[in-house]
């Protein structure tokens, strides 16, 4: 069966004016994402993504700044409800705090700029502060790293080789399936427990493992947006030492074998794995209300040359806008566009780069699924390929 996909000129042009000012990195929020669980099922998510990527992820993109940097964080909200960005732990002023009652809401189709100075190195978080109990469990959160150019943890602190961001979170499937009907909120009892948005066997995949070359000192950037208390167990072969918490140096670093990370807390733990170490940091997710271990997830370490594995877990393209309510184009749409078009698939792999001939291109040989097409600086367009 032969299907073609055509681009509607009107869709591209309509948003051109709005995008001309969106050239600096800009976050957006959407409420039509889907997130795949370890068992292959999917749940709806709300979340953040880069405008230039065009999709949201769980967790949201990792934001990285330099110590002392004056930051203007651009944000736009095309989603059907109001959202904010709270910069958790950055001690920003009231105007930029992202709390609806004391700062401001970003309504549907609204834009905002959050301005602050990242004056302390360390690990921080961001999340939506609108109906926080619900918007957080739906996925509206991410991690912020403030780094020093000299690759030390803090002024006078130890040097290290690489950052390993590890963000704990959880969700209750029933809530995500029916966020409107999720009342009462005190009943949220998570049943999916995640590290960087993934869990179970997916954490064993090579691109999710932590790779350490001999002599490497890795900075584990632990943070939690969970509803659970997370207890991490560090095997002695890692020689784990805790140096920082909540973006501040501790008065005295201490060797750590187990560490509790409560919701909203952050820790920086340096590990120097012994040569050939091939083990895990196990992370128990404890129920905060009826204390007991709900689940255990494992951060897997491996020993390879340091060129393998860049420890960039947030680059995994998992969360995704629901393509079905964007362009589902079985019959094609009339129109045309002159610029170069780049199309990527669900995993962010480039599938097509080139110009459309006669306003269309052939997708008949492509696998069924969802794709994002970008053209220059225009907003991305999502579409489905079906056969």
Partner 1 sequence: MAEGNALDGDAPYVPRQFTVNDRTFPNTSNDPFGYVSIGVGTSCYISIANQGSMDHVLHFHGFHVEVLQASKHPERVGWIKDTMPFLVGEVTVVRLDAFQPGMYPVHNHNLIAVTNAGLYPGGMITHLDIQP
User: What does the binding site for partner 1 look like in residue numbers (CB under 8 A)?
Assistant: 86, 88-89, 91-95, 97, 99, 101-102, 131-134, 136-137, 183-188, 227, 229, 245-248, 250-251, 254, 260, 262-266, 288-291
**Which residues, 6+ apart, have CB-to-CB distance to 86 below 8 Å?**
97, 98, 99, 126, 127, 128, 129
Which one, 213 or 288, has the nearer CB to partner 1? 288
Query: Closest approach of Cβ 2 to partner 1, in Å?
Result: 51
**Which residues, 6+ apart, have CB-to-CB distance to 170 below 8 Å?**
137, 190, 191, 192, 193, 194, 226, 227, 228, 285
Distance of CA 222 to the CA centre of its chain: 14
Query: Closest approach of Cβ 70 to partner 1, in Å?
Result: 16
Query: Closest approach of Cβ 334 to partner 1, in Å?
Result: 46
Query: Closest approach of Cβ 187 to partner 1, in Å?
Result: 7
Query: Closest approach of Cβ 224 to partner 1, in Å?
Result: 9
Which one, 105 or 384, has the nearer CB to partner 1? 105
Which one, 7 or 114, has the nearer CB to partner 1? 114
Which one, 114 or 320, has the nearer CB to partner 1? 114
Tokens of 167: 């963000």
Query: Closest approach of Cβ 125 to partner 1, in Å?
Result: 9
Which one, 100 or 323, has the nearer CB to partner 1? 100
Which one, 44 or 263, has the nearer CB to partner 1? 263
Considering Cα of 280, then 281, then 287, then 292, what sign does the dihedral take? positive
Query: Closest approach of Cβ 268 to partner 1, in Å?
Result: 13
Residue 376 and residue 19: Cα distance in Å, rounded? Answer: 11
**Count of CA atoms in the C-beta half-sphere (13 A) of 116:** 24
Which one, 13 or 289, has the nearer CB to partner 1? 289
Query: Closest approach of Cβ 250 to partner 1, in Å?
Result: 6
Query: Closest approach of Cβ 136 to partner 1, in Å?
Result: 6
Residue with tokens 């929020």: 29
CB 242 within 8 A of CB 256: yes
Query: Closest approach of Cβ 179 to partner 1, in Å?
Result: 12
Which one, 224 or 326, has the nearer CB to partner 1? 224
The two beta strands, 141-147 and 63-66, are: parallel
Which one, 154 or 383, has the nearer CB to partner 1? 154
Instruction: Give the number of other Cβ atoms within 10 Å of residue 268's Cβ.
Output: 29
Which one, 293 or 338, has the nearer CB to partner 1? 293
Burial of 333 (0-12, 13-18, 19+ CB in 10 A): middle
């Amino acid at each position: 069966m032969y299907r073609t996909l055509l681009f509607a000129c009107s869709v591209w042009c309509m948003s051109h004016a709005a995008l001309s000012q969106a050239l600096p990195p800009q976050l957006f929020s959407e409420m039509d994402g889907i997130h795949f669980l370890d068992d292959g099922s999917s749940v709806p998510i709300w979340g953040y993504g880069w405008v230039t990527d065009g999709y949201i992820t769980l967790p949201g993109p990792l934001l990285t700044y330099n110590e002392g940097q004056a930051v203007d964080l651009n944000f736009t909200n095309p989603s059907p409800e109001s959202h904010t960005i709270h910069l958790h732990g950055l001690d920003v002023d009231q105007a930029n705090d992202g709390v609806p009652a004391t700062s401001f809401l970003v309504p549907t189709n609204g834009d905002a700029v959050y301005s602050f100075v990242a004056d302390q190195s360390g690990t921080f978080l961001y999340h939506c502060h609108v109906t926080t109990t619900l918007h957080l469990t739906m996925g509206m959160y991410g991690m912020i790293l403030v780094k020093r150019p000299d690759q030390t943890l803090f002024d006078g602190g130890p040097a290290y080789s690489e950052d390993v961001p590890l963000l704990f979170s959880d969700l209750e499937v029933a809530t995500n399936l029916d966020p409107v009907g999720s009342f009462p909120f005190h009943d949220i009892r998570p049943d999916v427990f995640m590290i960087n948005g993934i869990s179970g066997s997916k954490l064993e995949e090579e691109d999710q493992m932590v790779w350490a070359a001999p002599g490497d000192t890795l900075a584990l950037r632990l943070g939690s947006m969970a509803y659970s208390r997370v207890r991490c167990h560090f095997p002695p072969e890692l020689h784990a030492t805790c140096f920082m918490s909540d973006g501040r140096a501790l008065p005295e670093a201490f060797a750590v074998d187990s560490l509790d990370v409560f919701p909203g807390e952050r820790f920086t733990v340096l590990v120097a794995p012994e040569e050939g170490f091939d083990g895990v940091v196990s992370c128990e997710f404890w129920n905060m209300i009826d204390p007991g271990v709900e689940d255990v997830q494992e951060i897997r370490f491996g020993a390879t040359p340091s060129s393998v594995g860049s420890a960039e877990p947030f680059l995994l393209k998992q969360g995704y806008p629901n393509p079905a309510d964007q362009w589902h184009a079985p019959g094609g749409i009339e129109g045309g566009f002159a610029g170069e078009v780049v199309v990527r698939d669900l995993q962010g792999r480039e599938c097509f780069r080139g110009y459309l001939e006669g306003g269309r291109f052939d997708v008949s040989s492509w696998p069924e699924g969802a794709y994002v097409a970008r053209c220059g600086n225009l907003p991305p367009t999502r579409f489905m390929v079906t056969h």
